[in-house]
Amino acid sequence: MTGEATPHVTDDANHGATTVPPVEELPSTAPPAAPQVDADLGAGERAGRRPPAVDVPELARLLDGRYAEVRGLVRSNLADYASILEEAETLSRADYRERVRDLVVEMAATGQTGMGFPEEYGGGGDLGASIAAFETLAFGDLSVLVKVGVQFGLFGGAILQLGTREHHDAYLRDLITGKLMGCFAMTESGHGSNVQALGTVATYDLASGEFVIETTSEQARKDYIGNAAAHAELAVVFAQLHVGGESHGVHAFVVPIRQDGEPAPGVRIEDDGLKMGLNGVDNGRIWFDRVRVPRSALLNRFAEVSPSGVYSSPIENPNKRFFTMLGTLVQGRVSVGGAGINAAKVAITLAVKYALRRRQFEATSEDAEELLLDYGLHQRRLLPLLARTYALHFAQEVVRGQLHDVLSEAGDGSAEDEHARRELESRAAGTKALGTWHATRTIQECREACGGAGYLSVNRFAALKADTDVFTTFEGDNHVLLQLVAKGLLTDYASDFEDLDQLGTVRFVTSLAVETVIEKTSVHKLLERIRDVLPGGDQWDQEAGLLDSDYQLAMLRFREEHMLSGVARRLKRGMDQGMNPGEVFSRVQDHVVAAANAHVERLTLEAFVDKVRGLPDGDTKVALGLLCDLHALSAIEADRAWFMEHGRLSVNRSKAISREIGSLCRQVRPIAGELVDAFGVPPEMLRAPDLLGTEA
C-alpha cells in the first residue's frame, strides 16, 4: 500500500500461553529520567520486527468458521441483488416494500433463509447455520435483513419453537418458501419490554370450543409489528389466556389477519407510517375485535386447553412457564446482535479503504499529501473500532455456538440444563447490547472519518445509520437487557430465577448473609487467583506486562466482580435501612447496568484471547494478537477513571497504556486494508464511488 510507514509488531507470545515474560523485558511504566527518542514507541516497535504478512483468504476462512459455505451462498445472493441498494433510494415506499418482499421470496428459494428449520419441511436442520446466514445478510440492504428476520426468525421461529407437530405440518413448509407470510404480534403500544403485562386477551369459549381474541384498550393494540401493514396473512399473537374465569398468563396463538389481501373479520390494521429507516419493512398496528379462532390456534408446546375447558401444562410454575416460552425465542437477540456487528464491518471497511486512498495535507513531505490513515489521530479513531469489531465477532461466535447447542438438544429439564439456558439468555442479551451499541458508534465515527463523502447517500452511511439505529431497542432495549444480565449474575442463575422480577431480585439478594454476598462476587478470591498467575503480589497490576493477556483479563475481571459486589452491598444496605425495595433498586439501577456491561466486556475479551491462543504460530496469530491487545488496552483506557478510583491504575501506568495503544495503532496500520478485506463484504455492497474511487 502506498504511503505506508514501516512500524513493527509486538511479540505474540503472551497470547499463546499464560507464561509472563520477565519484568525487566517489559516496557517501564515510570517516566524516563531524560527525554528519549523512542519514548512513544511500544515494545514491539523497539524490537524492530517486521509487520505480519496477512493471508486474507486464510483469515477470511477463520472468520467464517464452520459456516463458510453458508456465508458464501449469502454473499453470492447479495451480489445478485445489489440493485436493491439503489432501488431503496429511488422507488416509492410502496414499491420498495414490494421489492423487498420479492427478494425475500427469491432468497428463500435458494435455501438461505430456511436453514434453521427441520429438513422434513424443506429446511436445513442447522440453527447455527441459520444465524450465520442472517448475520452475513447484514452486509446488504437492512430492510431485506429485517424482513427475513420477521418472517423466518420471529414468525417462523415462534411456530417452530412454541408449536407442536400439528402446527408444523400446517404452516412450516409454506412459510419456509415465503408462500405464507406472517408476523410476530407481541409488542403493544403500552407494553414492550414488560411482556407479562400485555393487554390483549384470549378467552376460551366453552360453548363453541374457540378462543376469542380481543384488544382490551387502545394501549393494548399491537404496534410496530413488521409485515403487518401490507403482507402478513397470519400473526402469532401473544395474549393473556383466560379459561373459566381464571388467567393463566401470556400464551401465543396463530390468528389470521388477512383474507384475500384484506383485513380479516374483526381485525383492523393500520400502517405505522414513515420511519427513521427500514422503510422497506411494512410495520403496522393491529386491533382485534372479538376475533374467533379454533382451539388448535393455541401454540401448545408448553400448555394446552382441553375441549372441556381444562388448562394443563407440563410446567406448573406460571412464571417459569412464561420465561421458558420466551427463552425459546432467544435466537432473535442472537441474530440482531450478529447483524449489528456485521453492519459495523461494512462501515469500518468503507472508512479504512477510504483512508487508504484519500490524501490530505503535506505532513512529512512537500511533494505529496499524506494518506489519512498515516495520521496518528485517524488511526486512533478507526483502528480501535476495527479491533473491537473483531473482538465482538468472536464473542458472537461463542453465543451462536451456545444457541445451537442449547436449542438443538431437547434437554432433560435438569438443573444443569436450566442453568445452560439461563447462561445462554444472559450472554445473548449482553452480546446483543454491546454489538448493537458498537454498530451505532462505529457507523457514526466512520461517517465522520469520511468527511463530506460519507454524507452522500450513495456511499451507504445514510442507510447504515438510519437502518441500524433501531437495533439498540428492538429484540429488547439494551439497558433492560443488561439488567437481565445482572439479575442472572446476582442470583447465580437461581432455580427460582423466573420468580424474580426487579423487586424479587432485590429481596433475593438482600436475604443473603453479607458473607454469602461477598462469596458470590468473591473479589478477594479473584485477587488470590491473579497473584498466582501474575507477578508482583499485591502490586500485580503495576508490574505485569501491558501486553500480557492475563493482565488484561485480570483487570476486566476485577472491575466486573468489584462492581457486582458493590451492587449486592448497596441493595442489602438499602433494605437494612427499611427502604422500599422498588426505591432501592431504582437508586442502584445505573450501578446494575454498569456491572452487567463490565461482565459482557470481560466475556468479549475472553473470547478474543481464547481464539488467538488457539491458533497455530504464524502471521495470522501475530496480526490477531495485535488487534486483541489493542482492543484490551482500549477497553481499560476507556474506563481509566474507574480503575484509578479503585487503585488498580497509577497515573504513570495509565500514560503507558495510552502510549502502547498509539504504538499498536501504528503496528496495525500496514495491515488494516487486509484486515477489513477478510470480513468478506461483497464488493457490490461497497456501493461507494466517492470513497473507493469506483464507478457508481
- DSSP codes joined into one string, 245-275: TEEEEEEEEEEE-EETTEEPTTEEEEE----
The reported pLDDT for the residue numbered 88 is 95
Which residue is listed with cell 488470590? 528
Q: Which three cell numbers stand for residue 431?
A: 452480546
pLDDT tens for residues 160-173?
999 999 999 999 99
CATH of 182-321, one of 2.40.110.10, 3.30.70.150, 3.30.360.10, 3.10.20.30: 2.40.110.10
Is the Cβ–Cβ distance between 643 and 555 less than 8 Å?
A: yes
Rounded to whole angstroms, what are the CA distances from 88 to 663, 681, 695?
A: 42, 19, 19
Q: pLDDT tens digits, residue range 448-502?
A: 999 988 898 889 999 999 999 999 998 889 999 998 898 888 877 655 545 556 6
pLDDT average, residue stretch 182-199 = 90
CA separation, residue 662 to residues 389, 633, 691 (Å): 18, 10, 25
What is the C-alpha separation between 263 and 234, in angstroms, rounded? 11
With a CB cutoff of 8 Å and minimum separation 6, the contacts of 502 are 483, 582, 585
What single DSSP character describes residue 455? G
* pLDDT score, position 496: 52
58-177 and 182-321: same fold?
Answer: no
Q: What was the pLDDT predicted at 417?
A: 77
Backbone angles phi, psi at 561, to 5 degrees: -75, -30
Chain segment 574-623, per-residue pLDDT in tens: 878 888 878 888 898 899 999 999 999 999 999 999 999 999 999 999 99
The H or E element that residue 323 is part of is helix 318-327
Helix (H, G, I), strand (E, B) or coil at 364: coil
Task: Using DSSP, state whether 362 is helix, strand or coil.
Answer: coil
Q: What is the pLDDT, as a whole number, of residue 513?
A: 42
Cβ–Cβ under 8 Å, residues 210 and 292: yes
- Ranking 38-52, 133-147, 289-303 by mean pLDDT, the lowest is 38-52
**Plot region of 566 (φ>0 → left; ψ -120 to 50 → alpha; else → beta):** alpha
CB 124 within 8 A of CB 115: yes
- Running DSSP on this structure, what letter comes out for residue 233? S
Residue 14 has pLDDT above 60, yes or no: no
Residue carrying C-alpha cell 431497542: 473
Instruction: Give pLDDT tens digits for 102-114.
Output: 999 999 999 999 9
**Across 61-75, average pLDDT:** 96
- Grade residue 2 by pLDDT with cuts at 50, 70 and 90: very low
Average pLDDT, the chain: 86
Band the pLDDT of 365: cuts 50, 70, 90: low
pLDDT of 16 reads: 43
The residue to which cell 447465580 is assigned: 492
Average pLDDT on 303-315 reads 95
- Yes or no: say if 181 and 231 are a contact pair by the CB < 8 Å rule: yes
Domain ranges of the chain: 58-177, 182-321, 331-683
Question: What pLDDT was estimated at residue 159?
Answer: 96
Reading the block at residue 10, the C-alpha cell is 509486538
For residue 669, report the phi and psi dihedrals to the nearest 5 degrees.
-50, -45
Mean local confidence (pLDDT), 37-64: 74
pLDDT score recorded for residue 325? 84
Q: What number of H helices and E strands is found in the chain?
A: 27, 15
pLDDT at 21: 32
Strand-pair category, 258-259 with 201-205: unpaired
pLDDT tens, residue by residue, 518-552: 455 555 555 566 666 666 555 666 667 899 999 99
CATH superfamily of 331-683: Butyryl-CoA Dehydrogenase, subunit A, domain 3 (1.20.140.10)
Catalytically active residues, by annotation? 475
- Cα first-last separation, the chain: 24
Q: What is the 3-state secondary structure (H, E, C) of 359-411?
A: EECCCCCCCCCEEHHHCHHHHHHHHHHHHHHHHHHHHHHHHHHHHHHHHHCCC
Write down the pTM of the prediction. Answer: 0.89
Percent of the residues in the chain that have a pLDDT greater than 70, as a whole number: 82
CA atoms within 13 A on the CB side of 184: 24
Helix axes 415-449, 376-408, angle to 10 degrees: 150
Class assignment of domain 58-177? mainly alpha
